[in-house]
Amino acid sequence: MKLKNYVLGKWVEGEGSGTPLFNAVTGEQIAEATTQGIDFKAALEYGRSVGSTNLRKMTFHQRARMLKALALYLNEKKDIFYQLSYATGATKSDSWVDIEGGIGNLFVYASKGRRELPDEPFYVDGKPEMISKQGTFIGQHICVPLEGIAVHINAFNFPCWGMLEKLAVNFLAGVPAIVKPATVTSFLTELMVREIIASKILPEGALQLLCGSVGDLLQHVTCQDVVTFTGSAVTGKKLKTMPSIIDNSVRFNMEADSLNCSILGTDAKPDSEIFKLFIKEVSREMTLKSGQRCTAIRRAIVPEHLVQPVIEALSARLKTATLGNPQTEGVRMGPLVSKEQVSDVKAKVKELMTGCEVAYGDLENFEVVGADKERGAFLASMLLYCGNPFNKKQPHEIEAFGPVSTVMPYKTLADACQLAKMGKGSLCGSVFTNDDSIATEIVMGSASMHGRLMLINTSSAGESTGHGSPLAHLVHGGPGRAGGGEEMGGVRGIFHYMQRTALQGSPTTLTKITNVYQPKAEQKIDKVHPFRKHFEELQIGDTLITGKHTVTLKNIEDFAELSGDKFYAHMDENSLEGTIFTERVAHGYYILSRAAGLFVDPPKGPVLLNYGIEECRFTKPVYPGAEIGVRFTCKEKIDQEKRTPEDVAKGIVKWLVDVYDQTGDTVAIATILTMVKKKNQS
């Protein structure tokens, strides 16, 4: 069977013979893949003209709902992905990380898109900058989707997760993608893309797939495109330095395999719980996905007096990791992805052994359960020991991308930090200690060389997501050898696919552009109280100028009794010497509460409830006798989807509450949120 490519909105078969793809367990050929004959330039242009146009018309919320629908759809289809995943050598638990972990990323970004981003096709970044004296000329940053396409060149180890974790981000940003999975496991990626396309959830042109060589694709990228690469550092550097990438200043995100480490704290003892947790995690990282993870623990850094207990404990645990056919009961570790990968890992282990010794395992003599050892791509776990890690460069420079790890000793925490950094940049590291001072010293001493650090003690271990598990909420990437890039990280990730532009102009103009009220923009004063207006009827800039209230000493004392806040500045005029206050001052929260009494319209209406306060500042003391009023302005509107047909149609409205005194000076400023009913309930 020849895999098909999905380009220009249709499934097409590459020309000629393709690269043969094999079942990692049985060695049988299951498919072949080729992109020969594909017009790569046309595929890019199609994505830019069709996919980009369609996605940029959508708001963040619409894109987020699209991701949720896709996640739900794929979750219903997951069984067919699991079945084919066995052919990659993955066990059920390995596949769970790849398949359901990838779908989980879609769910996370669907949630974040609706909760943390506006219902707009663009993002207002940060607060306005007051760059003129009178405030008639201001600055504001916005982020808009790039008008190109994301090219994702993925690694073989996660054919589903590797694709979905990137698509979740670029789709939410409003950018289409071409996915080029590693050829050896592209059969699983192709199956998932077939289901994605069949769902018809994505707009036309949003996704294309290439199963085989990347051809001359990267020679046609422009400054509006983004290229992401996951794989070996050597290949990544070659791609990153292509003339087309450099000449066009193409955004290039690289996530390369790295020599990640785990450090056992000096407080550990062989019979302690933290010691056992360390052993469990190192062995798990060696055997999960058969060690074929860019985040796997390659270096176990332990106090020198614990070297032998660590080696013995790890060896005992690795013996229980039965190697064989992933579909055979009791098998905990499957084969590597291919025979070629076996040869590569063996060669790297032999290089490592020029500076290390074997502590456990054998490259040739091992047993396999439920499969033919010679036909499948099997390799047993290998634990090495480097007794002189400061003078042996091998474990800090050579990565065997399989079930291989090296134990190395340290004397002091400073030594441990130095060893951690000798990997020259890691995606992640972990620290196992119950002593927070040890954790602090290691973080401060090694964080500069890590993209992520997992700190485990006995109280956090039960809910830990694991050393090697990247999360959509946190950045995935690392410095130096790890590629110098970042992926995911919550909404941070979407800005890699967007252009940040600084706008300068009048507050009124920028209000119109951003749909967010900017300070000193024109205000629309209406006879109708804003709380009488439904969500659709409210306009950005709608403003209520309230009546006035004179603050009295009795107000201050009554509020102190009611709230229990009897701070000296409010109650004792004899204690004010040396302070900024000249007399007893009104509570800031009284000012804000009284402001609410001025701007709230009491009768039942479209406003359903007060949703909260985002920002609040008390900018000038208010003394008895001061007269305060409020400029109450509609600042921003956020639509909300109905969760059920019976749900009330509504939206969130942000209001600028500007409390000023008789001199016109602002004494308090806040942003409050209300939930406002829509007039149209359909």
- 462 half-sphere exposure, CB direction, 13 A CA radius: 2
Instruction: Return the residue matching tokens 């008895």.
Output: 624
All structural domains of the chain with their residue ranges: 38-120+140-255+492-499, 260-470, 523-677
**Would you state the structure tokens that stand for residue 57, as one six-digit string?**
């018309």
Q: Residue 416: phi, psi to the nearest 5?
A: -60, -40
**Would you state the structure tokens that stand for residue 628, as one six-digit string?**
């305060």
Helices (H) and strands (E) in the chain, counts: 19, 28
Strand ranges of the sheet holding 297-303, from the earlier edge strand across to the other edge: 357-360, 382-385, 404-410, 297-303, 260-264, 429-432, 453-456
Q: Residue 557: phi, psi to the nearest 5?
A: -70, -40
**Would you state the structure tokens that stand for residue 514, as one six-digit string?**
């951003």
Q: What is the pLDDT of residue 142?
A: 95
Measured at the CA of 537, the angle between CA 531 and CA 538, to 5 degrees, comes to 60
Give the Cα separation of 354 and 125 in Å (integer). 52
Of 242, 175, 268, 202, nearest to 499 by C-alpha is 175
175 and 168 in contact (C-beta within 8 Å)? no
514 and 124 in contact (C-beta within 8 Å)? yes
> Partners of 550 in the beta sheet?
627
The residue type found at 506 is S
Give the Cα separation of 520 and 134 in Å (integer). 9
Low-confidence ranges of the chain (pLDDT < 70): none
> Partners of 354 in the beta sheet?
none
The alpha carbon dihedral of 280, 283, 287, 293 has a sign of: positive
**Would you state the structure tokens that stand for residue 181, as one six-digit string?**
């999975």
Give 449's DSSP letter.
Answer: G
Q: What is the pLDDT of residue 177?
A: 97
Strands 251-256 and 226-231: parallel
Taking the C-alpha atoms of 427, 430, 436 and 438 in order, what is their torsion angle to the nearest 10 degrees? -90
Q: Residue 318: phi, psi to the nearest 5?
A: -65, -30
Of 236, 189, 231, 239, nearest to 209 by C-alpha is 189
- SS3 of residue 71 by DSSP: helix
Give the Cα separation of 423 and 146 in Å (integer). 35
**Would you state the structure tokens that stand for residue 7, as one six-digit string?**
């380009």
pTM: 0.89
Q: Catalytic residue numbers?
A: 255, 294
Residues found in the chain? 682
Strands 123-130 and 138-145: antiparallel
Buried-state track 328-358, b at ≥16 Cβ within 10 A, e below 16: eeebbbbbbbbbebbeebbebbeebeebbee
Give the Cα separation of 575 and 527 in Å (integer). 46
Measured at the CA of 230, the angle between CA 225 and CA 236, to 5 degrees, comes to 80
Q: What is the pLDDT of residue 358?
A: 95
The class of domain 38-120+140-255+492-499 in CATH terms is alpha beta
Give the Cα separation of 613 and 609 in Å (integer). 12
Give the Cα separation of 431 and 674 in Å (integer). 44
**Would you state the structure tokens that stand for residue 332, as one six-digit string?**
């905990």
Q: What percent of the chain has pLDDT over 90?
A: 75
The class of domain 523-677 in CATH terms is alpha beta
CATH fold for the domain made of 260-470: Aldehyde Dehydrogenase; Chain A, domain 2 (3.40.309)
Instruction: Return the residue matching tokens 């970004």.
Output: 109
